[in-house]
Each structure stands twice: as C-alpha cells, then as structure tokens.
C-alpha cells in the first residue's frame, strides 16, 4: 500500500465565515451561515456533536438547493486529502473534499484509474457521490457505484464506518444519501488498471438518426458518448470517447474496465476500439469536427479535453473539461431527467414540439446514458437510463415557468430528476419513483433521529 497526503484546494480559509456565499453559477444562496471550515476529523466531530442542525457543502456545483440551509454549514475543503492507495486491491481511501481531477492524477501515478468520471473534474468525491452525479456510457454506472466504504460523522459526533462487504443490508442506502445521514469524511473507491482513451467529436447527426434506431446505436458506439443539441431535430455534436486496448486482460478494450461491476457494452458499434484504426470520417451521417469545440456556443474549445483522436491517459479524455480551466462563465442553470434507456428517442420526440420555446432560454442540451445500479436513491436505480439534460441561460423565472410543461411531456417515461439540478416535479411524484424509499427513511430514523442534517430541500422530499 502507498500513501499520499496533501491539503485539498478550496476557496475558503480561517476557522469560520459569516456567510457560505453563492453557488458556482451564482443562482443558489446557500444561506446565512455560519460556514465552518474544520481542518481535521477531530474538529469536525466536535462541531457536529454540538450542532442542532448542520449541512455539508461541497464544491458548490449543484443548481438545486440540496445543500442550502438556514442553519450552520460546514465545508471540508481545508481537510487533508488523505490519499491512500492499495495497489494490490485497486482501491483508494480519499477525503470527501478531494476533487475528482486531483484524485485521477494521483491514481495515474500509481498505475490506476477511475473507471468513470463526470464531465467536470472540478467536483468533489463526497458531493458527487451524495447527489448521484454521473458520466456517460451504456456500461458506466453513476460515480457513487464505485464507493466500497464510507466514513461519516453522525449526529452525536461519532465516527461511523460502513462498507459494501460489512454492511450489505444498508450500504446501498448510505452511499447516495443527499447528506441526510451525516457528514462524510472519507470514501474508499474501487479503481481499475490505468488505461488510455481517445476522443473525437462529430458534427450534425441527421434528424433521421435522432428519431430512429440510429440514436441508440450512436449512444452505444463507444466507451462514453455524449450528444449535444438545441431541440431542432438534429444533434449538433457527438462526443465519442474510446477505450484503447492496453494489452492486459484486466484493462478495457472498447468496453468497460473489469472489476467495478460495470456491464459490458451491448449495442452495435462501427467505431474502432484500437489505436491502429482511425475514426471514420462519417459516422451515422455525422462528420468529424475539424477542430476543438466546446459544448456551449461561443465558448473556446481550449477549455475542453483533447479531441484530436490521439490516445492519452483516461483522466485526460473522460471528462469534457480540463481541470486547469473554468469550464464556462457559470451564468447558467441546469436541469436533467433520467428516463429508461430504451425510450430515449421517444422521450426526445415528446419534448421536441417545445423546441421553439426552449431554444431562446437554452445554451445547449445533452443526452447521456447511465447503467443501472442498486443504490436506493440513485436516479438510475435498477434501470438502465438515458439523461435528458438542459443547460439553461440564467433566466430563472422563465426556466421555472417552462419546466412543468417539459416534465408533463416526459411524464409517460417516469422521469427521475437529478438531485443537484433544478426541477419542479411534485415531491410525491418523485417519491413514487424510488421503491426503496421506505427503507431509506428507516435508515435515516436510525442514524439521525433528531434531524440534525435536514434542510428545506430534504424536508420537501421526505417530510420532517
């Protein structure tokens, strides 16, 4: 086993701030505070133990009020990173406040890699796991699915460790818990052997492919695929990320890395899966882009990961954006709905008639896929999913007025909203989508009977 220790980067210093501030997009006010900034687990335990109510605040990338509170908040941004790799077991124990981009670089130095990442490497491991953040790919589950152990400070200030092997009856309710069970200090994640990837972007997938079986084939056509569009019937961009064979039976070769519970890719694919074959110039009617592009109109492609098709480390290809750059201006709002994977074409077609009303409010929309998992509050719970995503302009009133109509058109597809993004679905409608919700409520009663970790968001969802 090898170890590394460092201090996580963060934008706050000092023992306590008077106000937590705003979200990355500037659209969420996290509350009056105070915001506490402990630098050790011992300080955190003492803080939580004396708090009547407290919520943990991550990297502020959520667009919903999942982390906001009218009571105390705490950030783990100044806690030690505590990166501890077990190269034989292919795991890492990491502090919850560490960003995925930092973790991925450290893992690569150990000959290891994350099997999946989100589009942003800037988000923290703890926050992303707690809210169901995901990447894309038919064989790739949510980021929380890689978690095999969780250490959290409970309402009394006690430190509790729960694991997949040691606590199988409740662990799937612990990993993705919206911060309702305690303040997570560390997570242990499954890793895979380091592997290489390459990425290209295609432009202008024709309308006939979007409305027919070609859409499913495109989404299944690489290790990770993301589609960007503007509700005009076509897909403006296809981001295709291929895993390159590395000469090891344990590594990926066009499908998912082994050892992390991910299923193999199943749909048809005519994209090559080895470094000797070039990307085709035309794929399902879409053409290769001639230069680097950004998903949002008017933004420079320099902010994005390499799109040349040259193989490189997976952590430099799997995210859409580079860690060293701010991915956009932040002047945006995001919404996202998980629908059954096999119904994505029908779901898009249902919303398409609203295109003329959507486009004036929209930067871009994205379609991604997520493999099913067993996490109780996961939007992909026991359902292979496709995600209908919107990156809106910062027009909150107009977006809020339009969302109910979008949600009504998605209703036949039983949409599950992303917890960290904006939606207007009624709480009872959301609750109906989670068959293990009663089990989670019982777990919450057990771990937080005094409701120390509640806020308005979870009160609306679950009740006090």
- Could you read off the pLDDT of 314-353 as tens digits, one per residue? 999 999 988 877 665 568 999 999 999 999 999 999 999 9
Number of Cα atoms under 13 Å in the Cβ half of residue 21: 16
Q: What is the mean pLDDT of the chain?
A: 88
DSSP structure string for 167-185: -TTTHHHHSS-TT-S-EEE
* C-alpha to C-alpha distance for 139 and 266, rounded to whole angstroms: 8
Q: What is the pLDDT of residue 18?
A: 67
Q: Each residue of 91-145: pLDDT tens digit?
A: 999 999 999 999 999 999 999 999 999 988 888 999 999 999 999 999 999 999 9
DSSP structure string for 408-424: HHHGGG--EE-TTS---
Strands 83-86 and 362-370: what pairing? unpaired
Asked whether the bond before 421 is cis by omega within 30 degrees of 0, the reply is no
Place of tokens 């302009």: 393
User: Which residues, in sequence order, are bridge partners of residue 457?
Assistant: none
* C-alpha to C-alpha distance for 20 and 29, rounded to whole angstroms: 8
Q: Provide mean pLDDT across the span 190-197.
A: 95
Give the angle subtended at the CA of 103 by the CAs of 334 and 255, to the nearest 5°: 75
Q: What is the share, in percent, of the chain residues with pLDDT greater than 90?
A: 78
- 350 backbone dihedrals φ, ψ, rounded to 5°: -65, -35
Q: Is 15 exposed, middle or buried (0-12, 13-18, 19+ CB in 10 A)?
A: exposed
Q: Which of 228-242, 272-286, 392-406, 411-425 has the lowest mean pLDDT?
A: 272-286
Q: Each residue of 405-457: pLDDT tens digit?
A: 999 999 999 999 999 999 999 999 999 999 999 999 999 999 999 999 999 99
* C-alpha to C-alpha distance for 118 and 283, rounded to whole angstroms: 25
Tokens of 22: 């705003």
């Amino acid at each position: 086993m090898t170890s590394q220790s460092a201090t996580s980067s963060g934008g706050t210093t000092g023992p306590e701030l008077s106000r937590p501030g705003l979200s990355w997009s500037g659209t969420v006010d996290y509350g009056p505070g105070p915001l506490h900034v402990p630098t050790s687990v011992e300080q955190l335990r003492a803080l939580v133990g004396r708090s009547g109510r407290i919520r943990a605040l991550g990297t502020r990338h959520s667009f919903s009020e999942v982390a906001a509170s009218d009571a105390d908040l705490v950030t783990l941004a100044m806690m030690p990173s505590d990166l501890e790799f077990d190269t034989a077991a292919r795991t890492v124990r990491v502090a919850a406040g560490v960003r995925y981009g930092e973790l991925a670089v450290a893992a690569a130095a150990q000959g290891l890699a994350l099997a999946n990442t989100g589009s942003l490497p800037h988000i923290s491991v703890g926050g992303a796991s707690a809210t169901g953040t995901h990447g894309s790919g038919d064989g790739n589950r949510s980021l929380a699915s890689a978690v095999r152990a969780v250490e959290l400070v409970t309402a009394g200030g006690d430190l509790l460790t729960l694991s997949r092997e040691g606590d199988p009856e409740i662990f799937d309710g612990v990993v993705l818990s919206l911060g309702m069970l305690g303040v997570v200090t560390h997570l242990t994640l499954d890793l895979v052997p380091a592997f290489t990837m390459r990425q290209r972007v295609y432009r202008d997938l024709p309308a006939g492919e979007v409305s027919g079986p070609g859409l499913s084939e495109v989404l299944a056509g690489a290790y990770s695929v993301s589609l960007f569009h503007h509700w005009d019937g076509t897909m403006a961009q296809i981001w295709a990320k291929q895993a390159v064979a590395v000469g090891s039976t344990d590594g990926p070769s066009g499908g998912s890395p082994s050892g992390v519970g991910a299923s193999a890719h199943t749909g048809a694919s005519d994209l090559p899966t080895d470094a000797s074959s070039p990307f085709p110039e035309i794929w399902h009617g879409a053409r290769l882009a001639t230069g680097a592009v950004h998903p949002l109109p008017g933004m420079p492609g320099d902010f994005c990961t390499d799109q040349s098709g040259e193989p490189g480390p997976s952590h430099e290809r799997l995210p859409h954006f580079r860690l060293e750059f701010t991915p956009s201006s932040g002047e945006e709002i995001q919404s996202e709905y998980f629908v059954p994977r096999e119904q994505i074409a029908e779901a898009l077609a249902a919303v398409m008639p609203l295109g003329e009303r959507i486009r004036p409010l929209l930067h871009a929309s994205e379609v991604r896929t997520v493999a099913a998992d067993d996490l109780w509050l996961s939007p992909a719970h026991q359902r292979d999913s496709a995600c209908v995503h919107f990156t809106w302009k910062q027009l909150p009133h107009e977006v809020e007025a339009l969302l109910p109509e979008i949600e009504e058109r998605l209703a036949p597809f039983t949409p599950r909203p992303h917890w960290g993004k904006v939606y207007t679905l009624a709480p009872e409608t959301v609750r109906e989508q989670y068959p293990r919700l009663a089990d989670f409520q019982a777990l919450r009663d057990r771990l937080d009977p005094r409701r120390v970790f509640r806020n308005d968001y979870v009160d609306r969802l679950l009740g006090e």
